[in-house]
Structure 1
Amino acid sequence: MRTDAATTVFNLPGYRVTSAEVLACGQRRIRVESVLEAGCRGCGVISARRHSRRLQRVRDIRVAGPVEVIWSKRRFFCDEPECGRKTFAESTPQVPAYSRSTARLRQALTEAVIGSGRAASETATAFGVSWWLVQRALDAAVLKLPDVDSLAPVRLGIDEHRFRSVRFFQDPATKAWTRYEPWMSTLVDLDTGQVLGVVDGRDSTGVGDWLKARPLGWRLGVQVVAIDPSAAFRKALRMWLPRTAVSVDAFHLSMLANAMVTEVRQRLCQEAKGRRGRATDPVWANRRLLLKGAERLSDRGRNRLQVVFAVDDSTGGLQAVWDVKEQLRTLLRTGSIADATAAKAELGRLVDRAGQPEARRLYRTVCRWWNEIEVLIVTGATTAKVEANNTAIKNIKRTGRGFVNNTNYKTRILLRSAARTAA
């Protein structure tokens, strides 16, 4: 059927434009009516015997500016004698029963928030609707996401991020203040990069309850899980994924080594000079070079480090722990268990030679996580895609100026991840 020009331009599926006018305020008013057959919601029988007609205002997207849409909505008689519903109002895929906005408007709102990264309040203002409508559109979109239990991830990644800023609460009875850090843990499919779940806290309870809720076949299908050196995550995995190999992330181990070098540098400076480092001290001026990988140093950088060790490291302890740090990085880059075992033995020798308590603590951590390090060397599973999602989560928080409701916060995360994964 050939449609008129106004209906073609307005392009609302299932409707045709009957009239258009410009109001005194300059806004346009478009009157439409449905061209689809109407079926009874009780029995499904198609009826053409009209009972009455009424006008309903419908919220819709802007078409070259704001538009007021008036739907001439019909009510029909139900001609099925056995049906208890005598009359019914028509509904369409664009405007279902009890709806006051079009499906294309709800889709546009969802795409604006998730696809374009706009804040919900800013999107509501731009489309001329309420914040609640935007949130309802997002909640409806979450229900359409694939069920996590229907997915079959082989490799998982788990990491935590802070939901909101640190807060302090006072007990009315004791007047004691308690520090509260609202953390959340993210579970990601390492093959697709999609966020599968977001749970409260960063302890074994939250992650364990989420894994417990998954079907047995789902859990048996997971082969490798990558985590940071978190005893809480490892406890949950040992309980609910006992047959799954656990890999510890190399980046987090390298961070522990860098933190060890920094602690030793600060302690040695206090012991030798009785104060913290200053800009005139070579060891403080080159503190960032100490944390840089040896293979990434330029000739100038190596010369500067040699000056630091020769001039501002009288005990030799700083160079010793720097060697420990580099040996750990070498260990993490090995490609076989045999090479890793040899590198571990060399790491132990360097730790003994350094004689620093911070280096011994780092070595104990390596020993406690040695099984997970072996899995890392064999599988190469890291939390890189989890960290990438955490960066996107930070952008979501920044765009939304923070979130008070953690359910809405999780909705944004899941929808954004699903949209990026599908793209």
Structure 2
Amino acid sequence: MLNATFDDCDLTKFCRLDELGLEATGQRLDLGQAVLACRVVEPDDWCHRCGSQGTPRGTAIRRLAHEPLGWRPTTLHITVRRYRCADCAHVWRQDTTAAAEPKAKISRRALRWALEALVLQHLTIARVAESLAVRWNTANDAVLAEGKRVLIDDPTRFANVTAIGVDEHVWRHTRRGDKYVTVIIDLTPLRAGVGPARLLDMVEGRSKQVFKTWLAERDQSWRDNVEVVAMDGFTGFKTATEEELPEATTVMDPFHVVRLAGDALERCRRRVQQQVHGHRGRKDDPLYKARRTLLTGADLLTEKQYSRIQDVFDTDDHVEVETTWAFYQHMVAAYREPDRTKGKTMMQTLITKLGRAVPTKLTELIVLGRTLKKRAADILAYFDRPGTSNGPTEAICECGD
């Protein structure tokens, strides 16, 4: 940095006011707030009615919350000039729509900051409102309107969609109203390797009819263009897809398939725990101590973890857990196999084995086998269509939390 050179201080560029059509004319730093005096760059002195040049008729101050500078909430004091037309007597003010929507209390840069804070930094609306020095309702209404403008009202968001993902998400943790929403995302960029998945829509409710109605609202050309639909094990989504997108391939993604096997392993562990020890798992019980390690992929286990599992399986009382664990690990290995053709064969073999005569004591594997056999085509379809995992849908749902 010895030979570094610096431009003159430019408050306008530093605070990104030039993006709003503004120019900084002064600043005031208080203990808990920064105030920037600004003016509109464009004079806007021509009559909007007759086109004659207007004459200045005083000024007004428009106050907008701006993105915070450091930890200080920042407010813009924009000097807006009034004009009057001598020919038609029309009176108007300089246009400030580049800085904010009419009657808005938050600048466009502040809205952008608020959206990034919510989505990327997981800040709450209360924290955003505090950082902008506005009321909670003001911040919430502005963020919802901007999100709707950017996401929902974008006329191109449904263009060129060939693969979608659908999942449900718990949106409301209260007794009133439907607590679920159905989330639909565009997997096309991910599948093509050109970008991340995109949120298409969130619809209140979780049922076959909710998803079917959403699909029916799309035009026929859009529906004909969809080739793949990734989903979880909920049969309602599959049925809706078959009825509205008969030519599309349904794919049950690895996240939910592995979770089915993991849930079966957990139920088996709890059942054996009760049968052997007569109580729920306690911190010193071998099965309980190994509960997380059992759900870890075998190729990721440390020597200590693998030794702990072997100690658990050394007793004949835990043979049912060992058998269920082995099927779980075979499933994980199939998805982690770099050769997709080989991985598909491994998965097909697993489904076939579970579909045959499984000992009656292994109740969890019997239930798992029935589910896998019923959805075998959807499970195996994943191996033929890279990039159709529903993982991005899960990620978007988690961000919503």
Deviation at 1:123, TM superposition (A): 3.9
157, 164, 177: which is aligned to 2:172? 164
The alignment's TM-score, normalised by the length of structure 1, stands at: 0.72
Q: Is 1:345 matched with 2:352?
A: yes
269, 294, 298: which is aligned to 1:265? 269
- Contact 2:24/2:36, CA 8 A, preserved across alignment: no
Which deviations, in whole Å up to 9, do the C-alpha atoms of 1:130-163 show, x marking residues without a partner?
A: 4455445431563255225642122211122211
Looking at structure 2, the residues matched to 298 and 287 of structure 1 have their Cα atoms a distance apart, in angstroms, of 15
Question: Residue 389 of structure 2 aligns with which residue?
Answer: 382
Coordinate RMSD, CA, aligned: 3.8
Question: Residue 226 of structure 1 aligns with which residue?
Answer: 230
Question: Residue 187 of structure 1 aligns with which residue?
Answer: 184
Would the alpha carbon gap of residues 272 and 100 (structure 1) be closer, same or farther in structure 2, given more than 3 Å must change? Answer: closer
206, 211, 232: which is aligned to 1:202? 206
Would the alpha carbon gap of residues 195 and 31 (structure 1) be closer, same or farther in structure 2, given more than 3 Å must change? Answer: closer
Question: Runs of 5+ in structure 2 lacking a partner?
Answer: 1-9, 191-195
Deviation at 1:244, TM superposition (A): 0.8
Deviates more, 1:237-246 or 1:88-97: 88-97
Looking at structure 2, the residues matched to 143 and 272 of structure 1 have their Cα atoms a distance apart, in angstroms, of 59
**After superposition, where does 1:25-174 map in structure 2 within 5 Å?**
36-41=43-48, 43=49, 45-50=50-55, 53-60=57-64, 66=75, 68-77=77-86, 87-94=90-97, 99-100=102-103, 105-117=106-118, 118-135=123-140, 137-138=142-143, 139-140=145-146, 142-145=148-151, 146-147=154-155, 150-167=158-175
Which amino acid letter does the alignment assign opposite residue 74 of structure 1? Y
Looking at structure 2, the residues matched to 67 and 31 of structure 1 have their Cα atoms a distance apart, in angstroms, of 7
Identity rate, percent: 21
The alignment's TM-score, normalised by the length of structure 2, stands at: 0.75
- Contact 1:95/1:101, CA 8 A, preserved across alignment: no
Larger gyration radius, structure 1 or structure 2: 1
Which amino acid letter does the alignment assign opposite residue 186 of structure 1? V
Would the alpha carbon gap of residues 322 and 33 (structure 1) be closer, same or farther in structure 2, given more than 3 Å must change? Answer: closer
- Contact 1:17/1:32, CA 8 A, preserved across alignment: yes
Looking at structure 2, the residues matched to 388 and 7 of structure 1 have their Cα atoms a distance apart, in angstroms, of 37
Would the alpha carbon gap of residues 193 and 87 (structure 1) be closer, same or farther in structure 2, given more than 3 Å must change? Answer: same
The structure showing larger relative contact order (alpha-carbon pairs under 8 Å, at least 6 residues apart) is 1
Question: Runs of 5+ in structure 1 lacking a partner?
Answer: 80-85, 170-179, 395-423
Which amino acid letter does the alignment assign opposite residue 80 of structure 2? W
Deviates more, 1:208-217 or 1:339-348: 339-348
Question: Residue 362 of structure 1 aligns with which residue?
Answer: 368
SS at match of 2:280: coil
Question: Residue 294 of structure 1 aligns with which residue?
Answer: 298
SS at match of 2:317: coil
Would the alpha carbon gap of residues 78 and 200 (structure 1) be closer, same or farther in structure 2, given more than 3 Å must change? Answer: farther
Looking at structure 2, the residues matched to 109 and 262 of structure 1 have their Cα atoms a distance apart, in angstroms, of 47
Would the alpha carbon gap of residues 280 and 134 (structure 1) be closer, same or farther in structure 2, given more than 3 Å must change? Answer: closer
Looking at structure 1, the residues matched to 43 and 164 of structure 2 have their Cα atoms a distance apart, in angstroms, of 47
Looking at structure 2, the residues matched to 271 and 229 of structure 1 have their Cα atoms a distance apart, in angstroms, of 30
Looking at structure 2, the residues matched to 78 and 97 of structure 1 have their Cα atoms a distance apart, in angstroms, of 30
Deviation at 1:112, TM superposition (A): 2.1
Looking at structure 1, the residues matched to 26 and 150 of structure 2 have their Cα atoms a distance apart, in angstroms, of 36
Q: Is 1:318 matched with 2:326?
A: no
